[in-house]
Amino acid sequence: MKFNIRGENLEVTGAIKEYVEKKISKLERYFDTPPTADVHVNLSVYNDEQRIEVTIPMTNLLLRGEVQHVDLYAAVDLVVDKLERQIRKHKTKINRKFRQNGSPKHAFAEMEKQNSNVAIEEDTDEIEIVRTKRFNLKPMDSEEAILQMDMLGHAFFVFTNDQSGETNVVYRRRDGKYGLIEPNAF
């Protein structure tokens, strides 16, 4: 694994870097051959709250975890636990699929060797749509959409951009600021 560790409002010292690499490297035990993935780690500090974001893109698996904690070292431990749960869930799901089809015992290792770009899918057994909403998209600008979202108490709001005519989404970020999602037409 190649580590790319960045700090935001925080200086990444040698001790922090060594601790992060040591803890995240423990994930290699879940694979027969160590993955040659880049590990992207963002460490940040906001109002005495430490946050770590880890993204590990692999051939057929995307691991991502984000944790906020008052202690940076505890946040690293928690994010590693979160990534381990993702790996175990993915491994269990793949083994279950192969077991149903009568495949070999080490199905996860076989899946790791395949050359496909399939992202993590959720089990169709676990996904259940419990509510469907339909609404008319009113043309407005992003500021009005944010006001509507705040008035409704929602974390996001879908609207038609009055300038471009495209469907856009505004959302509230964890840092309290707002984001805008615009479609990218090819």
Rounded CA gap, 23 and 11, in Å?
19
Domain ranges for the chain, please list them: 2-113, 139-181
- Burial class of residue 105 in the structure, from the number of CB atoms within 10 Å of its CB (0-12 exposed, 13-18 middle, 19+ buried): exposed
**Pairing state of beta strands 38-46 and 2-8?**
parallel
Report residue 9's pLDDT band, with 50, 70 and 90 as the boundaries: confident
Rounded CA gap, 140 and 126, in Å?
36
In this chain, the answer to whether the domains covering 2-113 and 139-181 adopt an identical fold is no
Tokens 């959409």 correspond to what residue?
145
Given a cut of 90, is residue 94 above it in pLDDT? no
pTM for this predicted structure? 0.53
Q: pLDDT digit string (tens) for 38-74?
A: 889 999 998 888 899 998 887 767 788 889 999 999 9
> What CATH number does the domain located at 139-181 have?
3.30.505.50
Tokens 């749509």 correspond to what residue?
129
Q: Which residues pair with 46 in a beta bridge?
A: 49
Q: pLDDT digit string (tens) for 111-157?
A: 555 434 444 444 445 778 888 888 778 888 888 888 888 777 788 98
Rounded CA gap, 54 and 65, in Å?
5
Fold of 2-113: Double Stranded RNA Binding Domain (3.30.160)
Q: Which residues pair with 3 in a beta bridge?
A: 39
Neighbours of 90 (CB within 10 A): 19
Length in residues, the chain: 186
